[in-house]
Amino acid sequence: MVLINESHPEEFILLGFADLPWLELPLFIILLIIYPTAMMGNIAIILVSKLDPRLHSPMYFFLTNLSFLDMCYTTSIVPQMLFNLGSSKKTISYVGCAVQLYVFHIMGGTECLLLALMSFDRYVAICRPLHYTLIMSQRLCILLASVMWLIGVAFAFSEATLTLQLPLCGINTLDHLLCEIPVLIKTACGEKEANELALSVVCIFILAVPLCLILASYVSIGRAILKIKSSDGRKKAFGTCSSHLVVVSFFYGPAISMYLQPPSSITRDQPKFMALFYAVVTPTLNPFIYTLRNKDVKEALSKLVRSIFSSK
């Protein structure tokens, strides 16, 4: 590792896949294709949710929030990844690392809570259909979204600030693709058990508790779907819920394996592949998961495309 005389260096060297140089060019090409695809897909979801009156419902309000989160989430890391993969200078400034750390974890923490809110919305829609419009009012949706964002910001600022205060003893090399809390804790020197404990406790509330609420919601939803007599009704209910469950499994699985274990026990290449999955693959797939399985969104997208071409 490179040693310098400062506790906090002016820049970090992100090794990435330096030990696998043959992987850098294919990964650069893949990211160069995936990133614009993710941006266009999420922008399309936001546009159709705002422009089509049929999609002015709580479900699509939360879906719009998810698309916005995914855009910010991906943008916070992919441009830097592309720059490092396409250059021999694989560095990020200390300030840039701090900004990336805050933004990445604000979006990640908020998305954990948002996925739980979306499962609650599906629970009310299927288990309490007659009271859905009364319970999921516009005022409540805005309130829930605001609280969700505030908790996400509080999580990121508390954990990222504690992590940035750890002494690095002159080490400015990170064996990772981005600045992430577990990797920085593992890199730091001195006493860091308190940081590991704080991260585990916070992640129980930000990851484990929302996941338990999601699972509890879907147990009730499953029972309610089985009671629906109409096969078309069961199919429609299952379609909207299955899309959300796929997104939950894609996001929570890698995040739990990364954050709900002590940073000292994380294997060498685990953070790199986990980061690629929950920060690149999942935000790209989310728009397609929701559109391919949702008739209303597909019709709204077709209408939007036709209107664009007809105007031209």
171 in any annotated domain: yes
Render pLDDT for 75-125 as a digit per residue (tens, 0 to 9): 988 988 888 888 778 888 889 999 999 999 999 899 999 999 999 998 998
183 in any annotated domain: yes
118 in any annotated domain: yes
1 in any annotated domain: no
- Which residues form the domain of 22? 11-311
Q: Which of 86-90, 113-117, 154-158, 179-183 has the lowest mean pLDDT?
A: 86-90
The residue with tokens 């604000």 is 106
45 in any annotated domain: yes
Mind spelling out the 3-state secondary structure of 205-238? HHHHHHHHHHHHHHHHHHHHHHHCCCHHHHHHHH
HSE, side-chain direction, 13 A CA sphere, residue 61: 17
3 in any annotated domain: no
Render pLDDT for 214-231 as a digit per residue (tens, 0 to 9): 999 989 988 888 877 777
Is the entire prediction scored with pTM above 0.75?
yes
Q: How many domains are there within the chain?
A: 1
Return phi, psi of residue 229, to 5°: -80, -35
Identity of the residue numbered 186: K
177 in any annotated domain: yes
Q: What is the CATH number of the domain that holds 22?
A: 1.20.1070.10
5 in any annotated domain: no
Q: What is the mean pLDDT of the chain?
A: 83
